[in-house]
Amino acid sequence: MLKRIAIDGPGGAGKSTLAKILAREYEIDYVDTGAMYRAVGYKMIRNGIGCGDEHKLIEMLNETNIDFRNSHIYLDGEDVSGFIRTPEVSMMASECSELAIVRNKLVAIQKEMGKSKSLVMDGRDICTNVMPNAEFKFFITASADERARRRYKELIEKGEVVSFENVLNDINQRDYNDTHRKLNPLIAADDAIVLDTTGMNIDEVIDCLKSYISGK
């Protein structure tokens, strides 16, 4: 039996952490779709390409290869896992994800991945667009303050120099961008389990998700 687990939710909700743990627990592949948009955003920044440079962006996308190996993301053969979690890349990822040319390319890759094998995939529109037929669908959220605290702690531990206020502002701006974009905006699928993780630790959330999975 296929075990395809789709996880949607806003930035900083802990989707990637939860997805990695579930993939490890069930010994299935993990696909971090948010990292794919971050990789595109990172390449755009590195090449000085803006969201309005459609011709250059199309050329860049045609020459872009994204792959996952052992929970690491590779951009054109280079492991960029350690370079795509900065606030600057986060904002570019949010902006470029609104562009049809970017979404169409990445969603096509994601849909192909989710056709015939068990996996965990997380992002903004996995349940609603990429894997609407997934056996297990979750929408993970938390308050903006809670998500900002988590992201701030993550960045500080990595040695980044950031302020909590700026991280919170980025979270709020990304929430607005994600929920107001015309193409597949962030929304909970009608048949997804919605879980607000504010005040919960990671073990509590995982136990909750596993109880739903084992009970279905």
Q: Taking 70 as the threshold, does the pLDDT of residue 159 lie above it? A: yes
Rounded mean pLDDT of 161-179?
93
Q: Where are the alpha helices (DSSP H) in 27-163?
A: 33-46, 54-62, 87-96, 100-113, 144-157
Rounded mean pLDDT of 187-192?
96
Q: What is the average pLDDT value for the chain, to the nearest integer?
A: 93
Q: CA 145: distance to chain centroid?
A: 19
Q: What does the pLDDT look like over 31-68, one tens digit per residue?
A: 888 899 999 999 999 999 999 999 999 999 999 999 88
Q: Which of 7-16, 131-140, 150-159 has the highest mean pLDDT?
A: 131-140
Q: Taking 70 as the threshold, does the pLDDT of residue 216 lie above it? A: no
pTM of the model: 0.77
Starting at the edge strand found earlier in the chain, the sheet holding 78-79 runs 66-69, 72-75, 78-79
**Phi and psi at residue 6, in whole multiples of 5°?**
-105, 130
**Phi and psi at residue 42, in whole multiples of 5°?**
-65, -45
Q: What does the pLDDT look like over 95-111, one tens digit per residue?
A: 998 899 999 999 988 99
Q: What percent of the chain has pLDDT over 70?
A: 100
- Domains detected in the chain: 4-210 (3.40.50.300)
H or E element, residue 177: helix 164-180
Q: Give the Cα separation of 91 and 51 in Å (integer).
A: 12
pLDDT of residue 9: 95
